[in-house]
Structure 1
Amino acid sequence: MRSNPRLTLLRDEDRSELTGILGEVEAAQMALAQAEAAYSRALSAAGVFAARLAEGSSAVVRDRDMALRGVAAEIAAAVRLSDRSVQRQIDSAFALVTEYPATLHCLEKGLITRAHVAVVEDVGRRLPVEVRGEFDQLAAEICLDETPGRARADLEVIAERMHPRSLTERHTEAFGQRRIVRYSIGEGMSELRAVHSTVLIEGIFQRLTDEATEVITAREPQPGDDSADTRSIDEVRADVFADMLLTATPTLDSTGHGDRPGGLGAIRAKVQVVIPVMALMGHSDVPCDLAGVGPIDAGTARLLAGNSDGVWERLLVHPITGLIMAVDQYRPTGAMVRFLKGRDKHCRWPGCRMPARKCELDHNHDAALGGRTEICNLCCLCQRHHSMKQFTAWKVTQLHGGIIEWTSPTGRVYTDNPPGHGVHFHPEEDLPDDVWVKWTTPGTEFRILDEPADDPHAPAPF
C-alpha cells in the first residue's frame, strides 16, 4: 500500500494552516483551564462563606449543612443546575483549593487540564489528609509532562509508596468487600457490576475480549444470507459473558466443528505481572505491577507466578539488567519481544495506554530503508499509531535508553520516555550486604550467590 503524498509531504501553505489551527486550539484550551480554576475558587469561597455563617452555633454540623444548602441553592438557581449537584461541587472545590494548591495553580496557568485535576483528586483521596500536600507537589510535576491516563499510572505508584499502610494490608481488607451488584437501567435491561481483585477483573475482561474477537473473526457471511451475524464486539462480549456464567462453557462458539469442542473454550486470560525477584521469593512485600493497570499486592503476584502453567504470562525483571540485543533478520527473537513488551508496557505514542500485548513491534527506522532489528530500533505501537507513523507526515526516532522522539508535520517534537515498571527496589531491605545476584539476559533466570561469581562482568553487591 502506497502512502498518500498529501499526508506524508505537507506543502508550506498546509503546514502554515495547520500551525494556525493548533495555535487556536492551544489558546482555547488555556482559556478553558483558567476558567475551570476560577470556577473552583469561586465555589470554594462559597463553602467558606457557608461555614462562616454557622460559626458560634451550638449545632455546628447541622447548621453548617443548612447554610451550605442555602448557598448551594442560591448558586444553582442562578446557573440552572441542581442544588444537590452544586453542593457536591462546592465540597469538591473546597478540597481542591485547600488540599491540592499546586495542582490548582498549574490549572490556573493553563499548564494542565481539568482531566488532569480529576486524576489527581481520584488518586489522592485514597491517601490520608496529612500526606496529600506532598502528594500534590509530586502530582503537579508529573501532570505537566503527561496525559491524564499516563499520569494516573505514575500517580498510582507514588500514592502506594506514600501510604502509611502497606498495599498487602489494604488489599486484604478490601478483598472482604468483593461483591456482585445488579441495577435496573430501564427498557428491560439491567447492569451487573462485579467488585473483585483487579488482577481477576483484568483477566476476565481480557478473556472475554479474546473470545469475542475469535467469534467475530470466524464469521463468514454467505451471499444472500439476511441472517448474517452483525453484532459489535461489545455485544458479542456481553453475550459470551452471559453464556459462560449460565452454562459454564461457551456454546456461542462459531469456531467449533461437529461434536468437537471449539476454540473458545481453550482461550484463557493473560496478564503481565512485573515482580521483583525478592518479592517473588517471599523476602519482600513491595508492591508489584500489573502491566497496563497499576500496582498489585505482592501476595497476589506470588500466587500468579506460582500458578503460571500457561494461564498467566509471567515477566521477571531485574533492577539492573537491560542489555541491547540485535538479530540479522526482520523478525525479532522471542526474547527480544518479551524484553520490549516488558520495557514499553504500552503503545509508545505520547499518551496512548494500549497495553503492549495488543501492540505491534515497529522498526522506528524502517527495515526496508536499512533499519536493523535491534532493541534500540524497535518499540511497541498500537495499530492506530503504527498506521499513522507509516501513512502520515509524523516521524519517529528512538534515542538512547528507549526514549521515543516524535516529530509532528508542523515540526514540533514530542518526547515519550519508557514507562517505569511500577515496582521499586530497596536494596537495603531486599538483600543483605553480602548477597550477590547473578542473572541471564534478558532477566529470565536468577540465582542468589554467597560470593561473587567468577565473572569479570558480575554485578556489584547491593
Structure 2
Amino acid sequence: MSEVAELPADVAMELWAERASRAESWVEPEAVESSTVPAPLLEADALHREQLLAQWEHAVAQVARWEAVTQRVLAEALDYALADGTQGATPDLRVRSMAAELACAAGMSDRTVAGHMADAAALRDRFASTYDAFAAGRVSRSQAMVIVDEGRGLDDDAARAEFESLVLDLATGPTTTGRLRMHAKALAEQLHPVTLAERHRVARQDRRVDVRAGDDGMGTVTAHLPAALAFGIHDRLTQMARTLRDTERDGDHDGISDDAATAAQVRTLDQLRADLLADLLLTGHPTADAADRDGDDGVGALRGIVQITVPVLTLIGQKSRTPAMLTGKCPIDPETARHLAGAASLWERVLTDPVTGAVVAADRRFPTEAQRRHLRARDEHCRFPGCRMPVWRCDIDHTVDHVHGGPTTGCNLAHLCRRHHMLKHHTHWTVHQDDHGTLTWTSPTGRTYADRAPPTLHFTPDHADVLSR
C-alpha cells in the first residue's frame, strides 16, 4: 500500500488562497451563439419548415378522407351484392362476383378485395365512431384497421363502445400503429366477456401454414400456431443452431462434411435457424449429410414436392438470361434449379412450336396427359385475372363447355381454381379464349379483362451474335 506524501503547510495554504480568489472572481460566461446564420434567414427557414409541416398534415388528412371513401364504397358494394336478386346465385357467389368486378377494375386480387369489403362493412356497422374519425381525417386507415382488428372479438355492444372510446383517445394523439395495437390488444382483453382460455380453444381451429413468393428467388413460410408452440419451435431451432455452431467452431464435425462445416462457420444464427428448419421439414434430419447417412426411413422418407421449368441452356450450365421458374410462383437461381433437376425422380418434357404453341387436339371429354403437361407449363396458375393459385390446385376447365360442343383442345382448355370455376358457371361472368391461350373475361357490367398466359419462355438473341453482325 503506497503512502501519499502530505504537502507542506505553507504550500497548501497558498494553493487554497488561489482557489478562493478564483471562486470570488467567477462570472457567468457569455452565451454561445447557436448559429452564425443571420436572424432573417433563420426566420425564413422556420417559416418553410412550418409550411412543409402544414402541407404534410393536410395531405395526410386528405388521404385519410379518400381512404374513408373507399371504405364506404366497399361496404356499399357488399350491401349491393347481398341484396342483388338479379344475379340468380347464392349470396356468397354474388359477393365473389362483385369482388371480382372491383378487383379487375383496380388490378387487385379478388380475394383481397373480398376481405376489404368485409373489413369495410365491419368498420361502418360496428365501429361507427372510428369510421367518423376516419372520414374526418383524424385517424389513418391503418389506425382504423387496428381498432377493427383488435375489437372484432367484442360482440357485446357496450363493451365494444367502451373499447372504441378508449382506443380512439389514444389514436388521435401522437402514437404509432404499433403502440396503438399494443394498447388496443390490452384493452380488448380486459373488456372481453369470454376468458382467454375459452377463446384459445376456438382460435386453435385456425392454425395453418402459408407461403408466399418473395424477391430474388426467395419465399416466406408463415405458420399460424398456438403461441407456446410457435415460441417453442423458435427456441428449439435456436438451441440446435447454437449447438451446431459451437460444434463446428470446436472442429468436431461428426457426421458433417468439411464443406458443410466450413459453410456453417460463416452463417449467422438467423441463417442457421432457417437452414435447420428447411432441413428438418424436407428431410427429417438436421443436415443433408445426416439424411444421407441415416437413410430414408420414417419421416426421412418424406420429401417436399415442387414443380420447376428450366430452360435447356440453364440446365446444362450455359449462361442464359431466361430464368428457371418455380412454376406459378417466382424465378429461382440457376444453381438451385440444376440441383433440383439432378435429384428429380420424374421429368416431364414439353416441346411446343415456338411460334404458334399449337397442341394436338383429342376428340374426348378429358384431356390427354400430353395436353395436361402442356397446360401446366402454359398456365402455371389459375387464369382468372390476378389469381395465383397454382395449377395443381386447379381444375382444367373447358372454356366453351364440352356439353355445348366445346372441343378438348389447348385453345379451349385452361386452369381455373375452384373459386373462379364456380364464378364462371354460376354467375354472369363469361370468358372467351383465343388461339394463343389468352382468356378475355367479361364482367356482369360488360367490362372486359384479358388474362394472357404467363411468359415462362422468352426468346432473346444471343448478345455475342448480335455484336458480331
Question: If you compute each CA radius of gyration, which structure gives the higher value, 1 or 2?
Answer: 2
The two structures share one fold, judged by TM-score above 0.5: no
Q: TM-score range by the shorter chain?
A: 0.3 to 0.5
Q: Normalising by structure 1, report the TM-score.
A: 0.42
Q: Select the structure that is richer in strand.
A: 1
Q: Normalising by structure 2, report the TM-score.
A: 0.41
